[in-house]
Amino acid sequence: MTLLAPAKPPVLPAAPARRRRDTRRWIGALYAAPTAFVVGMFFVVPLGLVAWMSLHHWPLLGPPELNAPENYAALSDDDLLATAAWFTLKYTVVVTVLLFALSFGLALVVQHRSRGVGLLRTAFFLPAAVGFASASLLFLGMLSDEIGPVNRILEAVGLLDGYVSWTSGSPNTALGSAVGLVLWRFAGFNMLILLTGLQAIPVDVYEAARLDGATSWQIFRRITVPLMRTTIALVLTLMVTGSLLAFDQFWILTRGGPDNSTTSLVMVIYREAFIELDLGSAAAISVVLLGVLIVFNVVQLGMLRRKG
Amino acid sequence: MKKLTAAALAILFLFPLLWSAWASFRTPTGFSLENYSRLFTSDNGIRFEHVFNSVAVSVLTVGGTLVIATLGGYAFGRFQFPGKNALFLLTLAILMVPYATILIALYVLLGWIGLEDSLVGLSAVLIMFQLPFSIFMMRNSFEAIPKELEEQALIDGCGSFGILTRVMLHAVRPGLVTVGLFAFLTSWSEFFAPLILLNSTDKFTMMLAVVNMRTASFGAIDYAALEAGVTFMAVPCLLLFLFLQRSYVRGFMSGALRG
């Protein structure tokens, strides 16, 4: 810790020093007070409130009424919720695998400083500066038949034969559109995080391995990956959490279609709350989703600790 | 060969941005500002108040985040006080509890305290989402300042606030740039939180207004005007990022992800 006590000359008598230390504790608490207020008011209270709401019939307008455990019981009959949960899971697996592979690949490409690498890093990271909702609209236009170049380019290259309606044609093309969008928007950001892990590995470790005659694949498997475990865990957590909470990409790009095939869990929460006007039921789904995420994070941390 | 692949990838990543800018000026007969004029005049497009709202939310969020994270980072980095570790962990826990799950409750809570459909309420929520990253970042920045700097100011007769404003603020500037830029990029382009927390169209941010051009149109979507909206929203972010890139990436890599 940096400062247990204020800088004090050792000749001072004990009592004023302690008083000064006490005052300093209060001053510290005072500086932390705005943080405590915002965290308490806008995080802790809503966290309790969402659990409380899930126990009530809570219409958007009008007084709430205790009805536990009806909101939770009703979840099992909700067909759309089941479809959405299954779809969200599938999406999470696909995105996490592809995004991780791409981000790691990019990080390896730009890990050593040389001519042009700075430009490459900027190019890969630049999409992250654009808002995700903006990026979704960008892809909507790019994949559209009206003004989008994608169909025409693919046709010219000979990969495509005739017109494909990417975002609404079929469940698979709709999912593919969203995955492409997410890869483009987030690969650079995750690349940057992975790069910090890569660069934290001391160079002599690599040199020692090379002297021992290790191949580059062996070095990658036995040195790079194990030494980057914490960073990899962080990136995977961000990807899984982000994918389980997917909203913008489906709300904007596919509108959850065709036939609700790309409706995500958070879209169901939104729908319950602001279309069905049933906040209690939306809160119940939120609580379940929250529980799943906390279990996931705890398991993940536990695995990390056991291996390390 | 490797260089060629990397260059091809870079082009692939830049292509959508360049295409969007190109498409925003493209008309059936050539290039003009027509798409932009439809963006700013059509019923569902961007109106002046939307620009104002976006700027207001960004200013409130960036300003609030900087003030709170500076004071909080100072407290966590330089002081001992009761409940310090608990509050720090609680702040980081915001990352673990994704905000989509508490926005329904925030919607109700803001209604109770008279901040429904309000830019101030939205900014308060956005500040809260920024705090884990910002507090972590600023705590590390304050911890890295050598003790001698503080002692010298103490001998010169500065109080703790004087030390903060006269000595420390200068030393933590790179951290502040990163925190501020991150808060701006998020608040300027955030979609889900305003979608939930703002109801009336004259309170909409630009992001909501542009998305509205897509979701509120039951007939044909005006894609060209949409791309004009995307470009208009993205240009400030891209310029600011390119301008501050060096300190942003450095701060991001050294402060935010240490440990």
DSSP string for residues in A32-59: HHHHHHHHIIIIIHHHHHHHHHTTEE-B
B114, pLDDT greater than 90 = yes
| A98, A112, A268, A270, A290 from A286: Cα distances, Å | 27, 43, 10, 10, 6
B91–A126 C-beta distance less than 8 A: no
Phi, then psi, of A169 in degrees rounded to 5 = -70, -55
Number of A to B CB contacts under 8 A, please give it.
278
The pLDDT of residue A90: 96
> Which residues 6+ apart lie within 8 Å of B171 measured at CB?
B141, B145, B149
pLDDT confidence of B89, banded at 50, 70, 90?
very high
Report d(CA A131, CA A248) in Å as an integer: 10
Report d(CA A289, CA A30) in Å as an integer: 36
B168 touches chain A (CB under 8 A): no
| A146, A168, A222, A251, B213 from A259: Cα distances, Å | 23, 9, 46, 13, 22
A124 neighbourhood in chain B, CB within 8 Å: 9-10, 13
Report d(CA A245, CA A250) in Å as an integer: 11
Phi, then psi, of A111 in degrees rounded to 5 = -70, -30
| A254, A262, A270, B208 from A80: Cα distances, Å | 16, 11, 13, 26
The pLDDT of residue A307: 61
Residues in chain A: 308
Note the pTM of the prediction, 2 decimals. Answer: 0.89
Q: What is the pLDDT of residues B182-200, one digit of tens each?
A: 899 999 999 999 999 999 9
Q: Nearest CA of chain A to the CA of B106: how many Å?
A: 6
The pLDDT of residue A167: 84
Q: Which is nearest to A75 in space by CA: A290, A280, A240?
A: A280
The pLDDT of residue A4: 44
Cβ pair B185, B20 in contact under 8 A: no
The pLDDT of residue A184: 97
Phi, then psi, of A162 in degrees rounded to 5 = 90, -175
Phi, then psi, of A182 in degrees rounded to 5 = -65, -40
Environment class of B223 (CB within 10 Å of its CB; exposed 0-12, middle 13-18, buried 19+): buried
The pLDDT of residue B259: 41
Residues of chain A with pLDDT under 70: 1-16, 306-308
| A42, A114, A121, B193 from A37: Cα distances, Å | 8, 47, 39, 20
B181 touches chain A (CB under 8 A): no
Question: Average of pLDDT values for B38-63?
Answer: 92
Which ipTM did the prediction report? 0.90
Q: Nearest CA of chain A to the CA of B159: how many Å?
A: 11
Question: Average of pLDDT values for B203-229?
Answer: 87
B146 touches chain A (CB under 8 A): no
E strands in B38-102: none
Of the given ranges (A15-19, B94-98, B173-177), which has the lowest mean pLDDT? A15-19
B258, pLDDT greater than 60 = no
A141–B23 C-beta distance less than 8 A: yes
Environment class of A78 (CB within 10 Å of its CB; exposed 0-12, middle 13-18, buried 19+): middle
Phi, then psi, of A282 in degrees rounded to 5 = -60, -40
Give the chain B residue whose CA is nearest to the CA of A23: B81
In three-state secondary structure terms, A66 is strand
Cβ pair A171, A258 in contact under 8 A: yes
> Which residues 6+ apart lie within 8 Å of B133 measured at CB?
B95, B179, B182, B256
Interior/surface letters A124-134, b for 16+ CB within 10 angstroms, e for the rest? bbbbbbbbbbb
B11, pLDDT greater than 80 = yes
Q: Nearest CA of chain B to the CA of A114: how many Å?
A: 11
Q: What is the pLDDT of residues B151-162, one digit of tens each?
A: 888 888 888 888
Cβ pair A39, B87 in contact under 8 A: yes
